[in-house]
Amino acid sequence: MPSAVKMRTDLTPAELRRLAASSKHANQSRRLLSLAAVMEGRSREEAARIGGMDRQTLRDWVHRFNELGPDGLKDNWWKGPAPLLTSDQLTALSQIVETGPDQGEDGVVRWRRVDLKRVIEERFGVVYHERTV
């Protein structure tokens, strides 16, 4: 049977509860309260229930807490990859789309994604998949 992950002990359950009460992040507060319950000797299942999570998720938060402290319990939303086109290129692309294609030059009467993919690659040197255009 696997053993429970050891938690750092530089903060007491009372300090964790005080941090939870003063936090402006609701999810961080729930996680701090769950960890305080673990430190007080409650079962991991009961502590997870207090925070509205399962035991595995609690275990993951214990690892984050051990590594980063109370700030590690805040949500860490990733903003995604940086855009491949610069703002000037996006402005130029917007103008290309709004003006529409030239049938003689572009060979189409209306823009499709596959056509815009080709235009972006030719004019800006950036390769997209046609589904992301």
User: What are the tokens at 105?
Assistant: 């030059």
Residue 117 in this model has a pLDDT that exceeds 80 = yes
Give tens-digit pLDDT for 32-80. Answer: 999 999 999 999 999 999 999 999 999 999 999 999 999 999 998 878 8
Provide CB contacts within 8 A for 4, sequence distance 6+. 44
* Residues 101 and 68 placed together within one structural domain of the fold: no
Same domain, 66 and 118: no
Write out the residue range of the structural domain in which residue 115 sits: 87-132
d(CA 52, CA 54): 7
pTM higher than 0.85: no
Domains contained in the chain, number: 2
- Are the C-beta atoms of residues 124 and 89 closer than 8 Å to each other? yes
Q: What is the mean pLDDT of the chain?
A: 92
Q: Is residue 4 part of a domain?
A: no
Does the structure show a pLDDT above 60 at 1? Answer: no
58 with 17, same domain: the answer is yes
Same domain assignment for residues 105 and 69: no
